[in-house]
Amino acid sequence: VSQAAEVRTDLVRACLREPVSRTPVWFMRQAGRALPEYRATRGSGSILSAFGDAALSAEVTLQPVRRYGVDAAILFSDIVVPLHAIGFGVDVEPGRGPVVAEPFRSSADLARLRPFEPAVDAPYVAETVGLVRRELAGSGVALIGFAGAPFTVASYAIEGGPSRTFAKVKALMHGDPELWFQLTERLAAMAVASLRAQIQAGAQAVQLFDSWAGSLAPAEYARFALPATRAVLDGIADLGVPTILFGVGTGELLALMASAGPDVVGVDWRVPLDEARRRVGGGHALQGNLDPALCLAPWPVVADASRAVLAAAAAADGTGTGHVFNLGHGVLPETDPGILAAVVELVHNETARA
Ligand code: CP3
């Protein structure tokens, strides 16, 4: 499916700070356990084998488009899929997340990080992208591809699972910077390969998830995370699709993240978008930032909070263009899908332009 053959979607236009018919909206983790149809389709096997079934993955990718009326689908996959596909030994535990049987410890482990070849190692990803694009053709709904940023993927590879302190990651990056840079260089190359394959198969925008970057002080982020993140964005720049860089707890990092070169900076719920605009400057669109926890409150609370996000986005640049409405992090599994559908309707109605 050629991108030129289709009119640019509002999602792509907002990312590029071009005029839109209304503010586009999608939700991180929109495909997932909040949806009964997801739970029914997903079954009980490993989620990594579910990704290997392109028809199933395409169906799950499309479920939130039908249910919520969002302006973008995000590919049903995970940030650890490339690591898994090269045989690094990753599993995803329900309710916990990625776990690594033999975490990355020393230079000997570099040999376990061979280059990722998407067409050979994970052909189901491009196949899923193709199936989804065929379904979405002419709908005005964009397909977003994604990858994990090197720091966040490294944190799983080194910690072996989720972490609150990131103590092992920090010990390695400060204690053996040379090894850290070798590791993150390889993870950057894997992310570039993965994103290029998704874009070439038809993804119309991509998001780089640096979910745990907020654990870093600005100086640490600048030295240890930013170079590899910038390398990923540079490595796909020639393909000309909009890029979104997102992390949680990144209020003090927003300007540095902007300097990595994404079109869009994703903001969590802790920093109002007008303040985020001051930190990021005028050269980037903003994505966010309704608190996902608030979506469990009664509708009037959610409606007011959604309007506050729209008002802060409009205050940020006078018009509200250059805003992609989203949550500040992923949909919580306990969320009532009806509330999210109502948020989409509210955002569309209140930002409709003549
Ligand atoms: O709708 C979507 O957002 C698309 C699919 C998607 C998944 N993972 C599917 C998934 C996306 C974009 C991701 C990215 C991802 N994976 C991130 C970045 C986003 C973020 O939340 O910050 C991270 C940190 C991961 C690692 C990961 N994978 C975690 C922390 C978990 C959660 C564990 C749990 O069960 O709550 C996973 C598993 C996972 N990835 C699920 C889904 C739908 C749930 C598990 C299941 O259904 O078995």
Q: CA-CA distances (angstroms) from residue 63 to 33, 67, 68, 81, 154?
A: 11, 6, 8, 21, 31
- Give distance in angstroms: CA of 6 to centre of ligand 1: 30
Percent of the chain with pLDDT over 90: 93
Nearest Cα residue to 187 out of 80, 283, 269:
80
- Give distance in angstroms: CA of 28 to centre of ligand 1: 9
Take residue 180 and report the two structure tokens written for it: 């850290």
CA distance 42 to 53: 11
Q: Is 33 a catalytic residue?
A: yes
- Omega cis (within 30) before 349: no
Q: Is 105 a catalytic residue?
A: no
Task: Find where tokens 């608190």 sit.
Answer: 291
- In the chain the beta strands, taken as DSSP E runs, fall at 72-74, 90-93, 97-100, 142-148, 205-209, 243-246, 264-266, 285-290, 323-327
Give me the mean pLDDT over the 34-47 stretch.
Answer: 92
Question: For residue range 249-301, what is the model confidence (pLDDT) as tens digits?
Answer: 999 999 999 999 999 999 999 999 999 999 999 999 999 999 999 999 999 99
Nearest Cα residue to 223 out of 270, 286, 180:
180
Helices 123-136 and 54-68: crossing angle in degrees, nearest 10, is: 40
Contact 302, 336 (CB under 8 A): no
CA 84 to chain CA centroid, nearest Å: 18
32 close to ligand 1 (CB < 6 Angstrom):
yes
Taking the alpha carbons at both ends of the chain, their separation in whole angstroms is 30
Tally of CB atoms within 10 A around 285:
24
Prediction pTM value: 0.96
Nearest Cα residue to 236 out of 266, 208, 265:
208
DSSP labels for 73-140?
A: EE-S--TTHHHHHTT--EEEETTTEEEESS---SGGGGGG-PPP-HHHH-HHHHHHHHHHHHHHTTSS
Lowest mean pLDDT among 54-58, 160-164, 320-324: 320-324
Q: Is 42 a catalytic residue?
A: yes
Residue 45, pLDDT score: 85
Residue 353, pLDDT score: 85
Residue 354, pLDDT score: 64
Q: CA-CA distances (angstroms) from residue 84 to 69, 106, 157, 292?
A: 32, 19, 11, 29
91 close to ligand 1 (CB < 6 Angstrom):
no
- Which one of the listed residues 10, 71, 78, 121 is annotated catalytic? 78
Is pLDDT above 70 for 243? yes
Q: Is 133 a catalytic residue?
A: no
204 close to ligand 1 (CB < 6 Angstrom):
no
- Which one of the listed residues 22, 29, 112, 223 is annotated catalytic? 29
- Give distance in angstroms: CA of 29 to centre of ligand 1: 7
29 close to ligand 1 (CB < 6 Angstrom):
yes
Residue 1, pLDDT score: 45
Tally of CB atoms within 10 A around 180:
22
- Give distance in angstroms: CA of 11 to centre of ligand 1: 22
Q: How confident is the model at residue 6 (pLDDT cuts 50, 70, 90)?
A: low
CA distance 85 to 233: 22
Is pLDDT above 60 for 351? yes
211 close to ligand 1 (CB < 6 Angstrom):
yes
Is pLDDT above 70 for 3? no
Is pLDDT above 90 for 43? no
313 close to ligand 1 (CB < 6 Angstrom):
no
Question: For residue range 316-332, what is the model confidence (pLDDT) as tens digits?
Answer: 766 668 999 999 999 99
Take residue 49 and report the two structure tokens written for it: 């084998």
168 close to ligand 1 (CB < 6 Angstrom):
no
CA distance 100 to 128: 25
Question: For residue range 105-148, what is the model confidence (pLDDT) as tens digits?
Answer: 999 999 999 999 999 999 999 999 999 999 999 999 999 999 99
Question: For residue range 191-214, what is the model confidence (pLDDT) as tens digits?
Answer: 999 999 999 999 999 999 999 999
Residue of 268 and 32 predicted with greater confidence: 268
**Residue 193 C-beta-side C-alpha neighbours within 13 Å:** 21
The pLDDT mean for the chain works out to 96
- Give distance in angstroms: CA of 95 to centre of ligand 1: 10
CA distance 25 to 46: 30
Task: Find where tokens 């149809």 sit.
Answer: 37
Give me the mean pLDDT over the 224-244 stretch.
Answer: 98
